[in-house]
Structure 1
Amino acid sequence: MLCCKMPYPLPQRKSFSMKKALIILVIAALAATGGFAVRSYLNQQADANNPALGQIRPEFAAPDINGEYQNIKQYDGKLVLLNFWATWCPPCKHEIPAFIALQNEYGSQGFQIVGLAIDDEDAVAGFIEEIGMNYPTMVVQQAGIELARRYGNDQGVLPYSVLIDRDGRIVYTISGELSKKRARELLSAHGIKL
């Protein structure tokens, strides 16, 4: 008769407890959040070497939320902040209230924010109404990715903002969230009285 002798002691079966799963989940979440923060910081620093800086802004026209085409040329002679964003992008949504305040405070001095939503028209319209956005937004959908590249966004990140001076030159780009403090510094440096 063939048989096998059982090893002694019996091998312990390793169990995967809920506590271990929770610890792994928390560690993964912290790593992801920390990675996003580091990537955002590095992106903000890298834009100083953007080849779009100093270039004349590319021309384009796109529909607003009412389907009416708007042309970037209509803002010639103004200090313009183009902001590429989407409703599914948390940092994009986070910076918009500051942009609303900046438009309220400095719009009378020839400053204009223009949103470029890389998103679905219905989602954009609902978000604009919900948050009370006070500046024009064009719905560029997926074509906005190529448009953002023409404005120096080779990394393909959102949010992405571009400051265009009154002569139509790109003077500042930022990948990632633009703080209200930094935006005010830029406006002041380009003739806006704070």
Structure 2
Amino acid sequence: MPFRIRQFLLLVMLLCCVIIGMRVYIEIAADKRPEGVGPAQEVPGQLPKFVLNDIWGEPTPISKWSGKPLLINFWATWCAPCRREMPLLQALHNEQPENGIQVVGIAIDWLPDVESYIAESGISYPILVGQEDAMAVSGLFGLEGLGLPFSVLAGADGQILTVYVGELAGEQIAAMATISAEYASGRSDLAAVRERLREL
């Protein structure tokens, strides 16, 4: 085999090892991140406008679901806590006619990996996908770096009720649904709702 070809193959193998090593490191780091870091201290006021592609490559504005309470969940296929909470989000999505919350996932990941995971897991709520653009969207809510999973709860009026960094437990999701319903019905005002959600 010519020397240049051997050099090229060696370089490709080395690059593959570096990429695999980085993915393993990121996944281990995600597993070691404290679970349920909690609500962010600063809650943005209004849901920002943004557009990301869905899994079919169609540009989709978040305003597609305007007029509905939203639970937006930032995740990635390599993030173990993200994968653990997604069945709970799917259960919430299945109950949508009762609680009115629209779940929207935003994958900060590569589309082929996202497509494979969705096919394997049976997730049926809407998923938007991006890399740098999805990271930029997460920054609109105050997320810095790879703090995944990361969830945003917004009212039907577009007011952001809470942002939460870390893995959500079933009881937290249930409480979010209850408090969101109280806000939608007018039984609780915005300040009270934000305070209660901050305590989750």
Indicate the TM-score class for this superposition, using the shorter chain for normalisation: 0.7 to 0.9
Identity of aligned residues (%): 34
For 1:28-84, what per-residue CA distance to the aligned partner results, in whole angstroms no more than 9, with x for missing partners?
xxxx89x936x334x21xx341242xx111111111111011110011111100000
* Kept in 2: contact 1:148–1:156 (CA 8 A): no
The 3-state SS of whatever aligns with 1:50 is coil
Residue 92 of structure 1 corresponds to 82
CA distance in structure 2 between the aligned counterparts of 1:129 and 1:88, rounded to whole angstroms: 15
* Conserved 8 A contact 2:40-2:165: no
Question: What does residue 152 of structure 1 align with?
Answer: 142
For residues 22-171 of structure 1, the aligned pairs below 5 Å read 36=32, 39-41=34-36, 43-44=37-38, 47-52=39-44, 55-154=45-144, 156-171=146-161
Structure number with higher helix proportion: 2
Does 102-111 or 69-78 show the bigger shift? 102-111
* Structure 1 pair 36–180 and aligned structure 2 pair: CA distance change class (3 A): same
Which secondary structure state, in structure 1, belongs to the residue aligned with residue 35 of structure 2?
Answer: helix
Looking at structure 2, the residues matched to 108 and 141 of structure 1 have their Cα atoms a distance apart, in angstroms, of 33
Superposition CA RMSD, Å: 2.2
1:175 matched to 2:171? The reply is: no
CA distance in 2, matches of 1:163, 1:156: 19
Q: CA deviation at 1:92?
A: 0.5
The aligned counterpart of 1:7 is none
CA displacement at 1:111 relative to structure 2: 1.2
Distance 1:154 1:147 in 2: 11
Query: Conserved in 1, the CA contact under 8 Å of 2:52 and 2:134?
Result: no
Q: Structure 2: which 5+ runs fail to align?
A: 1-27, 185-200
Aligned 8 A contact 1:103 1:135 in 2? yes
1:134 to partner: Cα distance: 1.4
Contact residue 149 and residue 156 of structure 1 kept, 8 A = no
TM-score by length of 2: 0.71
Residue 17 (structure 1) aligns with? none
